[in-house]
């Protein structure tokens, strides 16, 4: 215990250890380290106590002790969030769900899975597949993010077009409230019209209303056929035409439709040393996937016909269909490597915006002009979930500018991009949430009445304001 600097922290750690048992409370600096870093390096937690409960009852005990002691709590999942939501301040206790990682049951008749909140997303996907089912939530951090974190951030990812956000994939929840009581809403019901849907308040609440401890998830039939293609295009308008033609022919089978700018694809290929799948340079690329549970080659035929027609009509300039699972995986890897590749050319100012799908071309054109006017030479790396109207609109410094000079323009460039998204009836945070990073944006863009109602919900669940303070609603 000699690592703890203040007596009250020492007392609290001892009290938590006594109640939860040995090995549940971490205080040694070296052991704390993995929980203190933050994915983007923008923040660092200053907490001196991390609690690692193994059951809902242990979470409840830890929360009760903190509540009695008047200490704030920060829930942490896989710590892959991009807005500083799981960062703890001085004197706050981090509660990590890492050891509550069990798949509790799978019901292939109900098409449901019950899990603990600390289960890693990829483990859940694998367990569903082993049972002949699909859990469709899929995102770049799936090897480390936890389902509790996905629920708390209402995570999106690449399959939202067909299956929806996390919100659409959760049937029931269990959560520990800020006073330590356990709310059991762990119902596997598709229909339950019995008043306010409390689970939906927890989904997307970013740990500000309580700690999610278990969930009942919706499963789907495992696709029997999947087809992936990379298409090269001249404009985003062409990409939208392709999307609506494909939806017309293949309906719900269109499961992913990812836009990648030529600049972003070149960065990813250059960084990973991979050859560009389509050799000729084009302004835009789309990575699209069709999947279905029928088997056979019907989707392949639909894809070939659709792309053939699009080529003839000059909607696309070129296309390549993945011929093997390995080739499909290599296309996805390129998409996933864009953020890492962008890091290699300096600091980045990132935006995760959404606008109505039809307004994406207008957004890209207006934001591009405004950003370059404000800071000529800014390199714009655009990629994202075009089918959902969600773009990662990330800026890199001009080739001759230092990172420091570029980052000094952070707020100004943020405001330019977010103002345009807002004017086009969009959102400043489509899927990454608000956390610490975007709390000021929330105040800038949300209707004051909406903020007031959110504050009242927060006060109803957490009157002392001790559950993940400062996140989402900021310090207002």
The residues of the shown chain that bind ligand FAD, judged by CB under 6 A, are 39, 74-82, 85-86, 97, 117, 139-141, 145-146, 148-150, 152-153, 155-157, 206-207, 211-212, 339, 431-432, 435, 468, 471
Question: Which is nearer to ligand FAD, 86 or 315 (by Cβ)?
Answer: 86
Contact partners, residue 415, CB within 8 Å, separation at least 6: none
Question: Which is nearer to ligand FAD, 80 or 342 (by Cβ)?
Answer: 80
Sheet holding 379-385, edge to edge: 318-321, 225-233, 284-292, 254-261, 379-385, 390-396, 352-354
Q: In the block, which residue shows the tokens 């609290």? A: 12
Question: Which is nearer to ligand FAD, 409 or 471 (by Cβ)?
Answer: 471
Least Å distance, CB 430 to ligand FAD, is 8
Least Å distance, CB 199 to ligand FAD, is 12
Least Å distance, CB 313 to ligand FAD, is 31
Question: Which is nearer to ligand FAD, 79 or 378 (by Cβ)?
Answer: 79
Question: Which is nearer to ligand FAD, 40 or 247 (by Cβ)?
Answer: 40
Quote the CA–CA distance of 435 and 76 in Å, as a whole number. Answer: 12
User: Own/partner pairs for 309-318, CB < 8 Å, 24+ apart?
Assistant: 309/245, 310/231, 310/242, 310/245, 315/233, 315/238, 315/241, 315/242, 315/245, 316/231, 316/232, 316/233, 316/238, 316/242, 317/232, 317/233, 317/234, 317/280, 317/282, 318/231, 318/232, 318/278, 318/280, 318/282
Quote the CA–CA distance of 299 and 250 in Å, as a whole number. Answer: 8
Least Å distance, CB 153 to ligand FAD, is 4
Contact assessment for residue 173 and residue 151, using Cβ atoms and an 8 Å cutoff? yes
Compute the residue count for the chain: 476
Contact assessment for residue 116 and residue 99, using Cβ atoms and an 8 Å cutoff? no
Least Å distance, CB 210 to ligand FAD, is 7
Least Å distance, CB 472 to ligand FAD, is 8
Strands 49-51 and 93-96: parallel
Q: Which residue's Cβ has the minimum distance to ligand FAD? A: 149
Question: Which is nearer to ligand FAD, 82 or 232 (by Cβ)?
Answer: 82
Least Å distance, CB 109 to ligand FAD, is 28
Tokens of 108: 């292939």
Least Å distance, CB 419 to ligand FAD, is 23
Q: Where are the alpha helices (DSSP H) in 110-209?
A: 121-130, 147-153, 160-163, 198-202
| Residues forming beta bridges with residue 232, ordered by sequence position | 285, 318
Question: Which is nearer to ligand FAD, 13 or 124 (by Cβ)?
Answer: 124
Q: What is the DSSP letter of 387?
A: G
Question: Which is nearer to ligand FAD, 340 or 452 (by Cβ)?
Answer: 340
Question: Which is nearer to ligand FAD, 114 or 302 (by Cβ)?
Answer: 114
Least Å distance, CB 394 to ligand FAD, is 12
- Identify the helix (H) or strand (E) that includes residue 266: helix 262-272
What are residue 307's phi and psi, to 5 degrees? -70, -35
Question: Which is nearer to ligand FAD, 223 or 339 (by Cβ)?
Answer: 339
Tokens of 284: 């835009």
Least Å distance, CB 103 to ligand FAD, is 16
Q: In the block, which residue shows the tokens 């740990």? A: 207
Question: Which is nearer to ligand FAD, 201 or 367 (by Cβ)?
Answer: 201
Torsion angle of the four alpha carbons 10, 15, 16, 20, in this order, in degrees rounded to the nearest 10: 140
Using the Cα atoms of residue 306, residue 308, residue 311 and residue 312 in order, give the sign of their dihedral.
negative
Least Å distance, CB 385 to ligand FAD, is 7
């Amino acid at each position: 215990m000699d690592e703890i600097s203040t007596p009250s922290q020492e007392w609290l750690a001892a009290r938590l250890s006594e109640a939860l048992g040995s090995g549940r409370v971490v205080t040694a600096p070296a052991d704390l380290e993995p929980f203190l870093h933050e994915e983007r390096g923008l923040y660092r937690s200053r907490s001196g106590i991390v609690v690692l409960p193994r059951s809902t009852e242990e979470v409840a005990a830890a929360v009760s002790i903190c509540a009695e002691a008047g200490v704030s709590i920060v829930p942490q999942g896989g710590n892959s969030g991009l807005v500083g939501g799981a960062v703890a301040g001085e004197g706050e206790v981090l509660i990590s769900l890492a050891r509550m990682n069990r798949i509790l049951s799978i019901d292939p008749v109900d098409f449901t899975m019950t899990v603990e909140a600390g289960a890693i997303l990829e483990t859940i996907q694998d367990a569903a597949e082993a049972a002949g089912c699909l859990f469709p939530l899929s995102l770049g951090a799936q090897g480390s993010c936890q389902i509790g974190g996905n629920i708390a951030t209402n995570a999106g990812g690449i399959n939202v077009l067909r299956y929806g956000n996390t919100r659409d994939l959760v049937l029931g929840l269990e959560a520990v409230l800020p006073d330590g009581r356990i709310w059991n809403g762990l119902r596997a019901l598709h229909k339950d019209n019995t008043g306010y849907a409390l689970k939906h308040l927890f989904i997307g609440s970013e740990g500000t209303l309580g700690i999610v401890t278990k969930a009942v998830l919706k499963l789907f039939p495992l696709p029997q056929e999947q087809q992936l293609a990379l298409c090269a295009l001249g404009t985003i308008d062409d990409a939208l035409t392709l999307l609506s033609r494909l939806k017309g022919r293949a309906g719900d089978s269109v499961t992913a439709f990812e836009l990648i700018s030529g600049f972003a694809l070149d960065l990813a290929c250059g960084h990973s040393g991979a050859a560009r799948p389509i050799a000729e340079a084009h302004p835009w690329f789309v990575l699209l996937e069709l999947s279905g549970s029928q088997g056979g080659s019907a989707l392949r035929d639909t894809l070939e016909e659709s792309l053939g027609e699009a080529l003839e009509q000059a909607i696309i300039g070129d296309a390549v269909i993945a011929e093997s699972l390995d080739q499909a995986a290599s296309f996805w890897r390129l998409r996933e490597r864009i953020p890492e590749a962008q890091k290699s050319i300096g600091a980045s100012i990132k935006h995760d915006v959404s606008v109505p799908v039809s307004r994406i071309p207008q957004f890209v054109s207006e934001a591009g002009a405004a950003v370059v006017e404000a800071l000529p030479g800014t390199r714009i790396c655009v990629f994202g979930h075009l089918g959902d109207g969600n773009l990662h609109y990330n800026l890199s410094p001009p080739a001759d500018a230092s990172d420091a000079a570029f980052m000094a323009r952070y707020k100004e460039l943020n405001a330019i991009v977010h103002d345009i998204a807002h004017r086009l009836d969009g959102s400043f945070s489509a899927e990454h949430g608000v956390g610490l990073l975007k709390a000021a944006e929330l105040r800038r863009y949300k209707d004051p009445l909406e903020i007031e109602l959110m504050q009242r919900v927060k006060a109803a669940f957490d009157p002392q304001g001790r559950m993940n303070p400062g996140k989402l609603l900021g310090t207002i």
